[in-house]
Amino acid sequence: MSFADLLLWQFLYLPIALAMAYPLAIQYERGGWWRLLMPFTLVVALLDVWLNFTTFSLYLMSAPGKREITFSQHLERLVFDPGWRGYIARVVARFTNRFDPTPPHISLP
């Protein structure tokens, strides 16, 4: 695998995979049979943390804070930003809030 392929995976394929898997992964919060998704959720959570500290930090030009382990936690701060980072954070927050069984996933201003 070439370096260009690795970059393509890191900056395109993995974020798309997270966007597709995340709505299903957070359904474990519903309880009952949904808890069977917990192993899948753990894998998606690891991907979320990895991308938060690498790709998404570069995309948003914003390093996660001390207690911002997941991308959602990072976005909770950024939704209040009046600039382009805040706009992107609010768009992503609206997407995740649609699928969260205990809304809102990310509180919007």
- Residue 59, in any domain of the structure: yes
* Domain housing 77: 3-99
pLDDT given at position 82: 97
Average of pLDDT values for 3-15? 96
| Residue closest to 27 by CA, chosen among 108, 99, 90, 109 | 99
Q: Is the pLDDT of residue 10 over 90?
A: yes
pLDDT given at position 101: 85
- Is the pTM of the predicted complex or chain greater than 0.85? yes
**pLDDT tens digit sequence for 43-98:** 999 999 999 999 999 999 999 999 999 999 999 999 999 999 999 999 999 999 99
- Residue 106, in any domain of the structure: no
Backbone angles phi, psi at 13, to 5 degrees: -65, -45
- Angle of helix 84-99 relative to helix 14-25, nearest 10 degrees, comes to 40
- Residue 107, in any domain of the structure: no
- Angle of helix 71-78 relative to helix 84-99, nearest 10 degrees, comes to 130
- Residue 33, in any domain of the structure: yes
- Residue 105, in any domain of the structure: no
- Residue 35, in any domain of the structure: yes
- Residue 74, in any domain of the structure: yes
Residues 6+ apart with CB under 8 A from 49: 69, 70
Q: Is the pLDDT of residue 102 over 90?
A: no
What total of structural domains would you count in the chain?
1
**Distance between first and last Cα of the chain:** 44
pLDDT given at position 4: 94
